[in-house]
């Protein structure tokens, strides 16, 4: 652990950390004491709060965003033979859930500046089998929603927005999820609000939401005689009440968390100045909710690997992450024929990206510490 000049060790800064206040701890205890711990009144209350937050659109919760994405595909009837277009630079869930429906994930490259799906590249991949677009709002920076929906509408495609990183993000002032087709949020501890594990889908119609309830709970439909019928081969991905109670209290603090993230990122932009220089992420506007802050390392000008840089930062008490590897180059998706060179921007981000600490309980001085450490490490690692 690094020491200050007073000899006191500095605390380790992880790259992400949830904010759990005493109020939340007490509320969870109350929910446990109520003995109604799986899906019940708290889930209904959390879904209602999420719905109010997103322009009164229908919302259902799940055990994860991964489960939510799978249900989104299932309620839209995506099936074997279909194709769904997604970016190569995003988390693995997207391609995996498409694959689990039997459909084919069709990757496209991202824009090197926004790191969001390149919509022109997506247009070129549309075939008679294409059913949906599944873009990610990368790190919380909204995709161009006007262009996205213009493309979808002109080809009669559904859209499942992977908004795992984008709760609280706004496009031209409107919250992501409050308009458009389907949007999926994640409440994993690294995301902007957490339910420990959890996710939610915002729907464009109540009919789809009711269908999703079947897919998340055994396919069950209740009959008038008190027995149950099974109407679809549903799985089980209902959120427990304990998690939903936490989600309600987290949602109350979302605006505050978002503002704090934005302030800390402003500090990064002020202070991060290395030699050789990193490529900083796109700044976006006040609609960017900044789930993570990930510069690209100038690896061509270093005589150390990214892993070395991450280890050197770790020795200085600074945690880092990688968001993300290029999905098309994983074993699972190489088997579809994808290769190095297919998506140069996604591959470059995958090689060079490093996620620096960012979470609401960080202080400005912590950001300064990260900036100083990265400057030292890159100075030491640079090619002479």
Ligand X SMILES: *Cc1c(COP(=O)(O)O)cnc(C)c1O
Binding residues vs ligand X (CB under 6 A): 64-66, 90-91, 93, 136, 162, 164-165, 186, 188, 199
Q: Report the residue number, 61 or 304, with the smaller CB distance to ligand X.
A: 61
Is residue 191 annotated as part of the catalytic site, yes or no?
A: yes
Nearer to ligand X, 190 or 373 (CB): 190
Helix (H) or strand (E) holding 289: none
Smallest distance from ligand X to CB 29, Å: 24
Phi and psi, residue 165, nearest 5°: -105, 5
* SS3 of residue 284 by DSSP: coil
Bridge partners, 107 (sequence order): 86
Residue written as tokens 């409050």? 178
- Of 161 and 302, nearer to ligand X (C-beta) is 161
Distance in Å, CB of 307 to ligand X, minimum: 22
* Beta strands 104-108; 83-87: pairing state: parallel
Q: Residue 64 or 258: which CB sits closer to ligand X?
A: 64
Tell me the three state secondary structure of residue 217: strand
Residue 138 Cβ, how far from ligand X at the closest point, in Å? Answer: 8
Q: CA 61, CA 198: separation in Å to the nearest integer?
A: 7
SS3 382: strand
Q: Is residue 163 within 8 Å of 135, Cβ to Cβ?
A: no
Q: What tokens does 111 get?
A: 């824009």
Q: How far is the CB of 194 from ligand X (least distance, A)?
A: 10
Q: Which is nearer to ligand X, 144 or 376 (CB)?
A: 144
Strands 182-186 and 199-202: antiparallel
Q: Which two tokens stand for residue 342?
A: 């297919």
User: Residue 151: CA atoms inside 13 Å, Cβ hemisphere, count?
Assistant: 24
Q: Which of 125, 172, 191, 307 is catalytic?
A: 191
Torsion angle (degrees, nearest 10) of CA 16, 19, 25, 28: -70
CB of 69 to ligand X, least distance (A): 7
Tell me the catalytic residues: 191
């Amino acid at each position: 652990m690094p020491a200050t000049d007073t000899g006191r060790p500095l605390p380790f800064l992880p790259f992400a950390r949830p904010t759990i206040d005493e109020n939340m701890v007490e509320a969870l205890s109350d929910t446990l004491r109520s003995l109604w711990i799986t899906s019940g009144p708290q889930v209904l209350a959390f879904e209602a709060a999420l719905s109010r937050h997103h322009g009164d659109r229908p919302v259902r919760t799940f055990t994860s965003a991964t489960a939510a994405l799978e249900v989104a595909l299932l309620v839209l009837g995506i099936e074997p033979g279909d194709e769904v277009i997604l970016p190569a630079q995003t988390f693995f869930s997207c391609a995996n859930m498409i694959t689990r429906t039997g459909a084919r994930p069709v990757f496209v490259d991202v824009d090197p500046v926004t790191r969001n799906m390149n919509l022109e590249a997506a247009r070129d991949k549309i075939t008679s089998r294409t059913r949906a677009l599944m873009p990610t709002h990368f790190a919380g920076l909204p995709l161009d929603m006007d262009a996205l929906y213009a493309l979808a509408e002109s080809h009669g495609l559904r859209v499942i927005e992977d908004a795992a990183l984008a709760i609280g993000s706004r496009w031209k002032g409107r919250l992501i999820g409050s308009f458009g087709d389907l949007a999926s949020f994640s409440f994993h501890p690294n995301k902007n609000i957490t339910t420990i594990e959890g996710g939610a889908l915002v729907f464009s119609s109540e009919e789809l939401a009711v269908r999703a309830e079947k897919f998340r709970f055994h396919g069950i439909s209740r009959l008038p005689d008190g027995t149950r019928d099974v109407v679809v081969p549903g799985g089980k991905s209902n959120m427990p009440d304990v998690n939903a109670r936490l989600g309600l209290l987290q949602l109350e603090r979302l605006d505050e968390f978002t503002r704090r993230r934005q302030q800390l990122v402003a500090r990064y932009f002020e202070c991060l100045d290395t030699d050789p220089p990193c490529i900083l992420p796109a700044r976006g506007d006040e609609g960017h909710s900044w789930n993570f802050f990930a510069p690209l390392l100038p690896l061509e000008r270093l005589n150390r690997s990214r892993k070395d840089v991450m280890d050197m930062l770790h020795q200085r008490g600074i945690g880092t992450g990688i968001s993300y590897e290029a999905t098309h180059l994983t074993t699972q998706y190489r088997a579809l024929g994808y290769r190095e060179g297919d998506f140069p921007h996604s591959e470059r981000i995958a090689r060079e990206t490093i996620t620096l600490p960012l979470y609401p309980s960080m202080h400005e001085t912590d950001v300064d510490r990260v900036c100083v450490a990265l400057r030292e490490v890159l100075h030491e690692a640079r090619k002479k």
